[in-house]
Amino acid sequence: MQERSTEQLRELYRELILDHARQPRHFGRPEHYTHEAEGINPLCGDKLHLYFRVEEGRVCDAGFEGSGCAISMASASLLTETVTGHSEAEALEAAAGMQAMLRGESTGAGLGKLEALAGVRDFPSRVKCASLAWHALRAALTRHEGKVSTES
C-alpha cells in the first residue's frame, strides 16, 4: 500500500511539472519591475530571465522569459507562482529550501508544490535545470540584477 501511494504521488508530481512546463505561469516580462537576473545552464541550454517587482519588501509581481527543458521551465513557473505576494525574506527562504532539497539535505517537506521537483535528485544532470531559476532569484533579490551560470 505504501508503495502504491508513493507511485501515485510521483505521478501527480510528474503531471504538475508537465503542466507547468507546457503552460508556464507568469510567462513574460512584467510592465514594471525593480529586480531582474538572468540565469544560464550551458550543460542543458536552459536560459531564463527573471523579473520581480518589489515594493516595501514584498514581491508584488514576478515574471520570466526564456527557453529551456521542461524541468527548468516548470521550476521557473513554480517559482514565480510561489514568491508572488510574499516578502523578499520568504522568497529567499523558499530558494534556500529548494536548494537544500535539490542537494539532498532535506526532503522538501513544507515546500508545498515545490516538492514536486524533489524527484530530479535521482537525475544529477537535471538538478541544475531545477535550481537555475532559484539561483537567478537569489541574484535578483540580493544584487538587484545579475547574471548567474550553473557553470561559474
Buried b (16+ CB within 10 A) or exposed e, 54-81: beeebbebbbbebebbebbbbbbbbbbb
- Identify the residue whose cell numbers are 537525475: 123
Of 67 and 107, which CB lies nearer to Zn ion in the complex structure? 67
* Smallest separation (angstroms) from Zn ion to the CB of 10: 20
Taking phi over 0 as left and psi of -120 to 50 as alpha, with beta for the rest, 53 belongs to beta
| Residues lying near Zn ion in the complex (CB under 5 A) | 44, 46, 69, 72, 129
The three grid cell numbers given for residue 136, joined into one nine-digit string: 537567478
Integer Cα distance of 108 and 97 in angstroms: 7
* Smallest separation (angstroms) from Zn ion to the CB of 106: 22
* Smallest separation (angstroms) from Zn ion to the CB of 69: 3
* Smallest separation (angstroms) from Zn ion to the CB of 23: 18
Of 59 and 78, which CB lies nearer to Zn ion in the complex structure? 78
> Strand 35-41 to strand 147-149: parallel, antiparallel, or no bridges (unpaired)?
parallel
Q: Is 108 exposed, middle or buried (0-12, 13-18, 19+ CB in 10 A)?
A: buried
Of 72 and 80, which CB lies nearer to Zn ion in the complex structure? 72
The three grid cell numbers given for residue 42, joined into one nine-digit string: 550551458
* Smallest separation (angstroms) from Zn ion to the CB of 35: 23
Of 36 and 46, which CB lies nearer to Zn ion in the complex structure? 46
Of 38 and 46, which CB lies nearer to Zn ion in the complex structure? 46
